[in-house]
């Protein structure tokens, strides 16, 4: 059997070790190769075996993402903050060895883009001891707390979860709200720095709204607790989903832009969203200036709704996000559309389309080509292509389904899929079949699936002229002094940073 042990990836430099490993009480000759631990099982073993796998590693302290980290796009597990030790926050995602079922990806060092989760639903029980002064936030249901001297020991557990992520924090505060559901009460808690009281209120409200809306659209959220946490993340990542919890990048949690602290320092008190929305000239594809401002204003709500959407698409309905990212990411995007429509009314449709299609437009503007969406992450040529095709074009497929079948019909069909396939792992072929059966028009649906998911018709379907390179190159003519008029900011450093960025984009193209 194979287990994924992310701390073993060389990029973490964590001195990760395992052993001695035992199977049914007998020592086993386990082998570790980067992020995969392979454990031999005896011939004729029972259907159930007991595996004990001690492990240890040390996380290096990591720095928060800077301006160019954010603009560079998605990186590997070490760059995105999957496992990260900071001054007052420790991110522990995929932090213990997790069993990978046969047939799922077991590359020792996955070289694709996006998430690398391919674990089955399980009963997970955690007992964790931390020093005094630290709080433990996890995706499970807290079943016990005990203080012994200066240490705190917590016990949490969850049934049907494919992982149990943990965040350790100091100097954080929290706000909670209880939701009434048909399956029982759900306690939702937002965690953030102690000086972020107003942000906590907003984040809690946006999270509870997303849970309520999507529980109504699909099936009820199945656990008793949900935590949303301000967490340092890297490489332009706005959030990261876990069963029963989600991390929102600290800057975005506070109402800013993810990973853009360097830019915000240069702008000072200037309203970046308003500046970009009202005054930015340059080629932004079909995205209007005011529309860009609206996207930035709703970015946190969109991100929270997307990450909450993953509770249904990747957790309740599981998948191998290495081999089949098209199963969960496009549906998390579409889930965010469902939330925006309930929250924002008439303006939501345009915003939903903009949040989805802009990624594809900018991918083409930066010179990346369209390609099939239904493929493994390592088959994409860049993070930009992965994001544009999977988060953009493949998500727009569900908007196209609405045009053909009607919005309520599509949402009802997806709700039936979550109910019938709860706590299983689906491939893209499984999802295609399941939705087709619910829509009861297999031929017409298959034609659409093939076009949007397996062919390269994105330019025509989304009305994008892929001939130009556009994108941020239009910023060459940007008058920063005029843009920042009245803000009192020195633009010399920003000029330098934008110049470096444009040079990098020119080399990439």
pLDDT at 371: 97
Supply φ then ψ for residue 437, to 5 degrees. -65, -35
Cβ of 238: how many Cβ atoms within 10 Å? 22
Tokens (6 digits) for 198: 């107003």
Cβ atoms of 504 and 471 closer than 8 Å: no
Q: For 383-398, write each residue's pLDDT tens digit.
A: 899 999 999 999 999 9
Q: For 267-283, write each residue's pLDDT tens digit.
A: 454 454 454 444 333 33
pLDDT at 302: 97
Residue 37 in 3-state DSSP? strand
Q: Name the more confident of 474 and 22.
A: 22
pLDDT at 467: 52
Q: For 348-403, write each residue's pLDDT tens digit.
A: 999 999 999 999 999 999 999 999 999 999 999 998 999 999 999 999 999 999 99
Quote the CA–CA distance of 364 and 464 in Å, as a whole number: 8
Mean pLDDT of 405-421: 97
CB proximity list for 415: less than 8 A, separation 6 or greater:
217, 218, 219
Supply φ then ψ for residue 406, to 5 degrees. 100, 145
Q: For 144-169, write each residue's pLDDT tens digit.
A: 999 988 899 999 999 999 999 999 99
Q: Is the pLDDT of residue 292 over 80?
A: no
**In order of start, what are the domains of the chain with their CATH numbers?**
2-16+57-462 (1.10.390.10), 474-508 (no CATH)
Percent of the chain past pLDDT 90, that is, above it, reads: 70
CB proximity list for 291: less than 8 A, separation 6 or greater:
277, 350, 351, 354
Instruction: List the Cα angle 135/169/188 in 5-degree steps.
Output: 70
Closest CA to 84 of 8, 14, 189: 14
Cβ atoms of 422 and 317 closer than 8 Å: yes
pLDDT at 72: 52
CA atoms within 13 A on the CB side of 221: 29
* Inter-axis angle of helices 394-405 and 329-344, nearest 10: 60
Q: Is the pLDDT of residue 303 over 50?
A: yes
pLDDT at 497: 53
Q: Is the pLDDT of residue 290 over 70?
A: no
pLDDT at 114: 83
């Amino acid at each position: 059997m194979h287990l994924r042990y992310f701390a073993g990836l060389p990029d973490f430099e964590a001195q990760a070790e395992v052993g001695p490993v035992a199977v049914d009480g007998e020592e086993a000759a386990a082998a570790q190769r980067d992020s995969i631990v392979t454990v031999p099982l005896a011939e004729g073993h029972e259907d159930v075996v007991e595996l004990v796998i001690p492990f240890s590693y040390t996380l290096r302290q990591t720095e928060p993402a800077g301006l160019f980290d954010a603009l560079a796009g998605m990186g590997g597990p070490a760059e995105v903050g999957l496992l990260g030790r900071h001054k007052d926050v420790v991110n522990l995602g995929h932090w213990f060895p997790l069993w990978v079922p046969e047939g799922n990806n077991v590359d020792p060092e996955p070289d694709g883009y996006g998430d690398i989760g391919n674990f089955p639903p399980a009963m997970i029980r955690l007992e964790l001891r931390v020093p005094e002064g630290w709080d433990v936030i996890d995706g499970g249901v807290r079943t016990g707390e005990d203080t012994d001297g200066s240490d705190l020991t917590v016990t949490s557990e969850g049934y049907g979860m494919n992982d149990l992520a943990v965040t350790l924090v100091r100097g954080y505060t929290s706000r909670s709200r209880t939701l009434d559901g048909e399956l029982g009460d759900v306690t939702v808690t937002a965690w953030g720095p102690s000086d972020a009281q107003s942000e906590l209120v907003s984040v809690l409200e946006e999270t509870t709204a997303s849970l309520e809306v999507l529980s109504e659209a699909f099936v009820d959220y199945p656990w008793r607790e949900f935590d949303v946490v301000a967490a340092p993340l890297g490489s332009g990542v706005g959030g990261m989903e876990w069963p029963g919890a989600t991390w929102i990048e600290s800057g975005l949690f506070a109402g800013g832009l993810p990973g853009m602290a360097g830019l915000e320092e240069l702008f000072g008190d200037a309203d970046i969203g308003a500046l970009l929305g009202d005054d930015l000239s340059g080629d932004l594809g079909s995205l209007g200036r005011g529309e860009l401002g609206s996207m930035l204003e709703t970015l946190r709500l969109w991100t929270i709704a997307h990450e909450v959407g993953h509770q249904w698409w990747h957790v309740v309905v599981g998948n191998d996000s290495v081999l089949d990212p098209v199963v969960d990411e496009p549906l998390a995007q579409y889930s965010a559309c469902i939330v925006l429509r309930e929250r924002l009314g008439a303006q939501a449709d345009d915003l939903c389309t903009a949040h989805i299609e802009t990624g594809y437009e900018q991918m083409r503007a930066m010179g990346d080509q369209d390609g099939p969406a239904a493929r493994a992450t390592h088959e994409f040529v860049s993070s930009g292509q992965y994001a544009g095709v999977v988060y953009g074009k493949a998500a727009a497929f569900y908007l196209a389904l609405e045009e053909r079948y009607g919005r309520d019909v599509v949402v009802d069909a997806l709700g039936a899929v979550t109910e019938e396939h709860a706590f299983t792992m689906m491939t893209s072929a499984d999802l295609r079949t399941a939705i087709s059966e619910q829509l009861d028009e297999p031929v017409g649906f298959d034609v659409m699936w093939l076009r949007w998911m397996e062919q390269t018709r994105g330019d025509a379907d989304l009305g994008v002229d892929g001939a130009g390179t556009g994108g941020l190159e239009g910023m060459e003519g940007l008058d920063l002094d005029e843009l920042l008029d009245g803000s009192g900011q020195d633009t010399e450093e920003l000029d330098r940073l934008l110049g470096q960025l444009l040079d990098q984009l020119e080399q990439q193209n």
